[in-house]
Structure 1
Amino acid sequence: MPVGGRLALRSPIDIIAGMPYIVGEPPDPGIVVLAAKGAGVHAAFCGALDGSHRHLTPAERARPPVDLAVAEGCGGLLVVAYGPPGLVTPYVDALLLAARERGVAIIDALRVTDGRYWSYTCVSPSCCPPGGTVVDIDSSPVPAGAVLRGIAPARPLRVALADLDRVRGLLTPVRGEARAAMDALAEEVDRRAREMPETTLVRRGFGAVREAIEAERDGDGIRGYEEIAWLGVHLAHLRIRDRAWAAITERTALLHRDLWARVARHLPARRRAAPAALTAVAAWQHGDDALAMAAVETALAADPGYSMAVLMGRALAWGLPVERWRGSAPEQGPWE
């Protein structure tokens, strides 16, 4: 299988040796999925299994790369799992099942553990011994071929987990007197919202979100506790939240990142999922995967089943391209 028409992967050893030139350093423990189109690798997805995405089941993590491979017209998948069998095998099994259900062929599925590899698709002990096969990178022509062709190792697809600490501060909830004042006001705003007719509340919500975005754009920003408390109420309505989501573009991503991160920090936990999820989308649109991952964590800590955060978590877990997310976002219609 040629990679970019330049490197040929003809054996399991070649595949493992070629990983640095396709995805950079593969995650360990983790899984790499290569989607083949024609005779070459069309797309690559990396998913770490270190616990940072523990809210996703194996089946949930299997669907995004398979769905994207189908959408891109790829006919086959090559799976390479790194780590102990008890950890990685459920994810490999889920990928194989998802591929079969979508009619995508499995070229091979390998596990690399402690310097040896095993194939999930080979049952012959003559070529796939029960004790595994030593990963002898020096026996593969791929690294030398890469040097001859001037191909450098790829930049890793994943953000280092240590980078999460850099950005968590942007989402740390306010404390002390500010926390007490914000929580009390949020309770009062919730009570007043319950007394409003639904149509009035929704109409007011569209206006409040629009004004908050405009204020951020003009450099004023929304910082009043009551305004933030009302935004928390309004974003609980999916129509209003989706309108805010649709307004996030590559050009406006920084504006939305700052606005919704500030709102998430101030709101009580019960209202934090929506603005944190919006922060994740904005950060990803801006190319800041570390902040996006931290924002997903914040949203799911507030609401473990929050669908927008789950979707965002899947995309980040597999390194899906942001262009695909832009295509799936709600259409940006007029403010209602």
Structure 2
Amino acid sequence: MDQPPIPVIRLGDTGEVAAALPHLLGFHPAESIVLVGLRGPNGSRVGLTVRADLPPPAAARALAVTLAGKVLTDDPVAVLLAVVSEAPDDRSVPVLPSGPGEPAPELPHRDLVHELVLALDARDVPVREALLVRSGRWWDYDCPYPCCEPGSGTPLPAGASPLAAAAVADGAVLAAVRAALAARITPPDGDPAAPAMAAACLAEGREHAARLRALGRDAVAAEAGAALAAALADCRPGPATAATRLADARVARVLWGLTVPDVRDRALGLALGEDAAAAEVLWTECTRRAPVPLDGPPATLLAVSAWLRGDGATANVALDRALAADPDARLPRLLADGLAQCLPPAQLRVLISSTLEEAG
């Protein structure tokens, strides 16, 4: 299940919300159920949005209960449901005859919509609208008019909507599919730059071990902190750094520095300060270029940066990468559990601040 960026913007018309789903999620959903929490006095603001793959019919009720619990962590006053599916109309449900001896077709996945309505109603949260989004058009499951008959539908509005613009302004990057988010932080198979990066990490690892023996952990932490600060400066957004690509040796220095707990704590705190954007650029670059298992710490830090920005989809794929590097790593496991429970970014910010204060 994925959590998306959460732009604070007033709700427009139904077609606008349907068209903006990819921007709310950070990627184009396919065969998905999406719940959009609605906040504000009249439910006019978009809140937390959660997504899951469409389940088999036997699992619809269990998934409905799970998704309802997740979207309600944001205390919405109402919820908008959207089924995104290319499934054909269901002709197995005889609703009204459309001709002699022929039942009228029904919109697909209505049983899942029904289970979600029941699960949310049990928690006293109404469903504002239930939509089907398919082939560039949208339908309302409850609309009785010809525009929402199975063979009809309303075209999705063209152009950039305020919802989409808000998501982009908030830092969301739209991917074609969820796998494209993972591809952004994963080197391609047969990457010609990978051997050089691996060699740089091996050489830096030997030097890192030698400095630890000769200078001690405190001195090495100070050196690593300085290397981190220099790399961060070269990742700050702006024309002076637009064409900057960190050399393999500098990336390797940062990666090995992140194996020192004090440096890793300092790096975690960067997500809370004015260099949060630069830190996210640095963690993205380090995660993409790092060999296993050195990719674990920057992937974890990237997940934190993305999550605090509201980009749960990127946070999820980054945590997948971190746990693939070290399945027993405590911090990414805790973060993954928190993300699964829809811990709001504001609460994560407070948790990080208190953790860093306790660490001194």
TM-score, reference length from structure 1: 0.55
Aligned to 1:216: 231
Alignment partners' CA distance in 2, 1:204 and 1:256: 23
Contact 1:22–1:44 (Cα < 8 Å) also in 2? no
Question: Are residues 328 and 277 of structure 1, via their aligned partners in 2, closer, same or farther at CA, if it must alter by over 3 Å?
Answer: same
Is the 8 Å Cα contact of residues 79 and 109 (structure 1) preserved in structure 2? yes
Is 2:117–2:126's contact at 8 Å kept on the other side of the alignment? no
What residue number does 1:160 align with? 174
SS of structure 1 residue aligned to 2:198: helix
CA apart distance, 1:314: 5.9
The 3-state SS of whatever aligns with 1:244 is helix
| Contact 2:258/2:264, CA 8 A, preserved across alignment | no
Deviation at 1:32, TM superposition (A): 3.3
The answer to whether 1:65 aligns with 2:67 is no
Equivalent residue for 2:287, pick from 256, 261, 264 = 264
Quote the residue 2:242 is aligned against: none
Would you say the 8 A contact 1:37–1:76 is kept in 2?
A: no
Q: Secondary structure at the match of 2:283?
A: helix
Residues of 2 paired with 1:248 and 1:207: CA distance?
A: 20
- Cα distance in 2 between the residues matched to 1:273 and 1:314: 19
The match for 2:299 is: 276
Q: What code does the residue aligned with 2:84 have? A: Y
Partner SS for 1:19: helix
Assess if the C-alpha contact under 8 Å between 2:84 and 2:132 holds in 1. Answer: yes
Unmatched runs of 5 consecutive residues or more in structure 2: 1-8, 55-61, 91-107, 236-245
Change (3 A) 1:90 1:211: farther
Seen in structure 2, the aligned counterparts of structure 1 residues 185 and 252 have a Cα distance that, compared at 3 Å, is closer
Normalised by the size of structure 2, how large is the TM-score?
0.52
Cα RMSD of the aligned pairs, angstroms, is: 5.8
For residues 322 and 50 of structure 1, the distance between their equivalents in structure 2, rounded to whole angstroms, comes to: 23
Equivalent position to 2:267, from 211, 228, 244: 244
Question: Cα–Cα, structure 1 residues 28 and 88, in superposed 2: closer, same or farther, change >3 Å?
Answer: farther
Is 1:299 matched with 2:317? no
Match of 2:256 in 1: 230
Name the residue aligned to 1:107.
127
Describe the superposition over 1:279-304 as per-residue Cα deviations: whole angstroms up to 9, x where unpaired.
Answer: 34446767999976764553344246
Change (3 A) 1:79 1:167: closer
- CA–CA distance in 2 between the matches of 1:81 and 1:278? 33
1:275 Cα deviation from its structure 2 partner: 0.7
| Total equivalences in the alignment | 285
Separation in 2, partners of 1:301, 1:91: 34
TM superposition shift of 1:100: 7.5
State the partner residue of 2:59: none
The alignment partner of 1:270 has SS state of coil
Aligned to 1:298, the other structure's residue is in SS state: helix
In structure 2, the partner of 1:80 is 82
State how far apart, in whole Å, the 1-side matches of 2:209 and 2:66 are: 34
Per the TM alignment, residue 252 of structure 1 is displaced from its structure 2 partner at its CA by: 0.3
Q: 1:226 to 1:49 in 2, by over 3 A?
A: closer
Change (3 A) 1:335 1:82: same
Question: What SS class does the counterpart of residue 164 from structure 2 fall into?
Answer: coil
**Structure 2 SS opposite 1:155:** helix
Identity %: 17
* Superposed CA offset, 1:248-279 (max 9, x none): 24620243234434543554312322212213
Asked if the contact 1:280/1:296 (under 8 Å) is kept, the reply is: yes
The structural deviation recorded for 1:330 is: 3.0
**Structure 2 equivalent of residue 19 of structure 1:** 17
With over 3 angstroms needed to count, the CA separation of the structure-2 counterparts of 1:212 and 1:282, relative to structure 1, is: farther
Amino acid at match of 2:201: M
1:179, distance to aligned residue in structure 2 (A): 1.2
Per-residue CA deviation, residues 119-155 of structure 1 (Å, 9 max, x unaligned), is: 6xx9xxxx8xxxx9638556xxxx9xx9xxxx95641
Task: Give the 3 Å change call, closer, same or farther, for CA 171–283 of structure 1 in structure 2.
Answer: farther
Q: Secondary structure at the match of 2:259?
A: helix
Gaps of 5+ in 1: 8-14, 52-56
Query: Which residue of structure 1 aligns with residue 94 of structure 2?
Result: none
- Whole-angstrom distance in 1 between the partners of 2:196 and 2:225: 29
| CA gap 1:4/1:180 in 2 versus in 1, 3 angstroms | closer
CA distance in structure 2 between the partners assigned to 1:177 and 1:272 by the alignment = 16
- Distance in 2, matches of 1:287 and 1:231, equals 27
